[in-house]
Amino acid sequence: MGEKRNIALAGNPNTGKSSLFNLLTGLNQHVGNFPGVTVDKRTGECRLGPGHAAGVLDLPGTYSIFPRSADERIVWEVLGNAAHPDHPQLVVVAADASNLERNLLLFTQLHDLGLPLILALTMPDMALERGSMVDVQALSFHLGVPVVVVNGRTGEGLDDLKSLLMSDIPAPRAFRFCVTDLLTLADQPEAQIRDTEWRYSRIREILRKCQVRKDSNQDTASLRSRLDRFFVHPVWGYLVFVGLLMLIFQLIFRFAEYPMEWIEGAFLALSRLAADYLPAGVFTDLLSEGVIPGIGGVVIFIPQIALLFFILSILEESGYMARVVFIMDKLVRPFGLNGKSVVPLVSSVACAIPGIMSTRTIPSWKDRLITILVAPLMSCSARLPVFMLMIRLVVPDGNLWGFFDLRGAVLFAMYALGVISAIAVAWVFGKIIRTGEQGFLLMELPAYQLPRLRYVFLHVREKAGVFVTDAGKVILAISIVLWVLASYGPPGQMNRALESMKQAHPEWSPDSPEYKEALAAVRLEHSFIGIIGRGIEPVIQPLGYDWKIGIALITSFAAREVFVGSMATIYSVGEDFEEGLVERLRDERYPDSGQPVYTLASGLSLMVFYVYAMQCMSTLAIVRRETRSWKWPLVQLLYMGVLAYAGAWITFVTFS
């Protein structure tokens, strides 16, 4: 076999296709215990043995070849059209062994399309537990294709699958499950129903001949129903959901504080080290005042972001998310959302981009569009650094009603503001956007599973790594530009300002701390960035911000995670790195009035601004791709901008 074979993984949702993909390719495709985790195709390469490699394609899950949502359409496009560039030479159908009947429906459809097939029975552990494992040899005989058993979690049986992938699998031509030509049924619902019913009767016939024994295990069934009674209870269900969310913010605050302090200390020491030991000069200044604080500004938030991803990942892997959809459907429908909108919204707490992608599982276009439009209002992990910095700066450390950490409660309030606004905005869009089409919920509730910590850790490491490298690159570039702009200015103006400072205070010797401090302030004020900042100050003054915040707002226009890094750079120019950023910000005062810049009012106002403002180019690009028009990203940019300015202004006025 000279040329590389292309193999596709297809099957019902949540059967372990992506788990198999990861095992085969060594990649780290997202896996979760929820139907519809994968919403796009992804390719990888699998080394089968010496000289043997194959291209592997992971597909979204689908119950039938006829698509009912955007993610399922991808399967139809790739497998239903032999001319598609990704059309495979071989399809591995992943079928949940504990639930074969329904899983085999798609198998029979792909069989009748004439695709060479291998049937991979996944979740053998679950099938054994339920006492419903099938006779593999008999199944292979009756279906006319090779059948392997693979555990997607442990990798048991993977070698059997790999050796099958190397052998020649002919296209099944001997018989068909149904006489009609599938491709002609695409838009004939009545004929589809008849076809499907016929297929099911054939599948039942075959399974009757292959089923070994069937006795369900009462223990797990009763544990499951007890868990369900709790998670979908009219009172407990919602309390658990809200309680979980509150717990997350408390955890983020309590546990992440220590590593944050260590990281901050380490970066300060690094800056000092660079300033002390490297030869004095422009490059050293750039490094110690620009690059190191800028990078440190993001790295310090890794513990929180990792913790956030960790908790979300656990929720996803356990099967709890589907229950949240279940209890929220009725509540969110009046607001123009679907129960299925809840998962994209919750995952937008990590990042809006995967959140918006995952709206593909929402069948109605209107429900989906509204979910896309409000998803960026959910506070993503890139806002977390801004919230954390401001909270540490302006919110006193203390308790609320004796047991809630006050700072954790303010953080929770910011997230709650995002959620409430998302719901309100969804309601407004629901009134504006009118289509006759009716959405539906119809969804599988997966069984509960214990999350695999190893996978969860891998996932968290990858996500945190991506955050740091992606944000790091931008921040590195911006901190260099910022440092240059903050360190140089038009020479004439700078010199005049320095002269007038010296004349105002002739008593200061050039070595005194007052002199040094005033010198740094004057230089920054008359640098290029100071001049730009002064220019925009009138616009942001009503919100309670000074020009330095204005600069950080501008630099974070395309990516909000840049804010803290920019602040760190701006406040590091001319510094001696004795104290952390929070202390430096706390000392910051308006030169004319002597009032502190960062007060409860201006801090809260800044946080509210970040709750609303659409400062993320990547999100706009994804919205443009998913909605296929520039109209919706522009609508989003506009409405979020208006909310940000108005919200911040109201907050500032209320608290000052």
Partner 1 sequence: MEGKALSLRALSVLRPGEGGIVSVVASHHLAPKLVEMGLFPGKEVKVLFRAPFGGPMAVEIGGGYTLSLREDEAMLVLLDPENF
Ligand X SMILES: Nc1nc2c(ncn2[C@@H]2O[C@H](COP(=O)(O)OP(=O)(O)OP(=O)(O)O)[C@@H](O)[C@H]2O)c(=O)[nH]1
Q: Residues interacting with Mg ion, by CB under 5 A?
A: 17-18, 37-38
Helix or strand (DSSP H, E) at 616? none
* Residue list 23-52, contact with ligand X (CB under 6 A): 31-33, 35-38
Site string for partner 1, 286-325 (x = CB under 8 A): ------------------------------------x--x
Tell me which residue of 268, 252, 299, 368 sits closest to 626, measured CA to CA: 368
Site string for ligand X, 420-449 (x = CB under 6 A): -----------------------------x
Binding flag, residue 105, partner 1 (CB under 8 A): yes
Alpha-carbon span 567 to 546, nearest angstrom: 12
Paired residues of 52 in beta bridges: 49
The answer to whether 21 and 27 are in contact (CB under 8 A) is yes
Binding flag, residue 96, ligand X (CB under 6 A): no
Please, what is the minimum distance in Å from the beta carbon of residue 291 to ligand X?
A: 39
Binding flag, residue 217, partner 1 (CB under 8 A): no
Look at residue 560 and give the partner it binds from ligand X, partner 1, Mg ion, none, a contact being a CB closer than 5 to 8 Å depending on partner kind: none
Site string for partner 1, 336-375 (x = CB under 8 A): ---x------------------------------------
Q: Which of 445, 476, 484, 531 binds partner 1 (CB under 8 A)?
A: 445
Please, what is the minimum distance in Å from the beta carbon of residue 548 to partner 1?
A: 49
Look at residue 153 and give the partner it binds from partner 1, Mg ion, ligand X, none, a contact being a CB closer than 5 to 8 Å depending on partner kind: ligand X
Helix or strand (DSSP H, E) at 93? strand 90-96
Binding flag, residue 122, ligand X (CB under 6 A): yes
- Parallel, antiparallel, or unpaired for β 52-58 and 42-49? antiparallel
Binding flag, residue 67, ligand X (CB under 6 A): no
Look at residue 102 and give the partner it binds from partner 1, Mg ion, ligand X, none, a contact being a CB closer than 5 to 8 Å depending on partner kind: partner 1
The answer to whether 445 and 323 are in contact (CB under 8 A) is yes
Look at residue 13 and give the partner it binds from ligand X, Mg ion, partner 1, none, a contact being a CB closer than 5 to 8 Å depending on partner kind: ligand X
Q: Output the CA torsion sign for 65, 66, 68, 69.
A: positive
CA–CA distances in Å: residue 248 to residues 191, 232, 242, 347, 518:
49, 20, 10, 14, 43
* Residue list 154-193, contact with partner 1 (CB under 8 A): 189-190, 192-193
Helix or strand (DSSP H, E) at 180? none
Q: Which of 61, 80, 88, 237 binds partner 1 (CB under 8 A)?
A: 237
Alpha-carbon span 427 to 420, nearest angstrom: 11
Alpha-carbon span 9 to 23, nearest angstrom: 12
Q: Which of 86, 125, 135, 588 binds ligand X (CB under 6 A)?
A: 125
Site string for partner 1, 128-147 (x = CB under 8 A): ----x---------------
Could you write out the DSSP letters of every residue in 290-350?
A: IIHHHHHHHHTTHHHHHHHHHHHHHHHHHTHHHHHHHHHHHHHGGGT--GGGHHHHHHTTT
Cβ nearer to Mg ion, comparing 195 with 316: 316
Binding flag, residue 621, partner 1 (CB under 8 A): no
Please, what is the minimum distance in Å from the beta carbon of residue 17 to ligand X?
A: 4
Q: Which residue bears the tokens 């690059």?
A: 291
Q: Which of 16, 19, 23, 63 binds partner 1 (CB under 8 A)?
A: 63
The answer to whether 601 and 395 are in contact (CB under 8 A) is no
Binding flag, residue 289, ligand X (CB under 6 A): no
Site string for ligand X, 449-488 (x = CB under 6 A): x---------------------------------------
Alpha-carbon span 566 to 569, nearest angstrom: 5
Please, what is the minimum distance in Å from the beta carbon of residue 278 to ligand X?
A: 49
Tell me which residue of 63, 178, 203 sits closest to 113, measured CA to CA: 178
399: buried, middle or exposed (CB in 10 Å: 19+, 13-18, 0-12)? Answer: exposed
DSSP 404: E
Look at residue 569 and give the partner it binds from Mg ion, partner 1, ligand X, none, a contact being a CB closer than 5 to 8 Å depending on partner kind: none
The answer to whether 113 and 127 are in contact (CB under 8 A) is no
Q: What tokens were used for 420? A: 């409430």
Cβ nearer to partner 1, comparing 5 with 199: 199
Alpha-carbon span 16 to 122, nearest angstrom: 7
Q: Tell me how many residues contact ligand X (CB under 6 A).
A: 26
Interface ranges with ligand X (CB under 6 A): 11, 13-19, 31-33, 35-38, 60-61, 122-123, 125-126, 151-153, 317, 449
Interface ranges with partner 1 (CB under 8 A): 63-64, 66, 68, 98-99, 101-102, 105, 132, 189-190, 192-193, 196-197, 200-201, 216, 225, 228-229, 232-234, 237-238, 322, 325-327, 329-331, 339, 440-445, 447
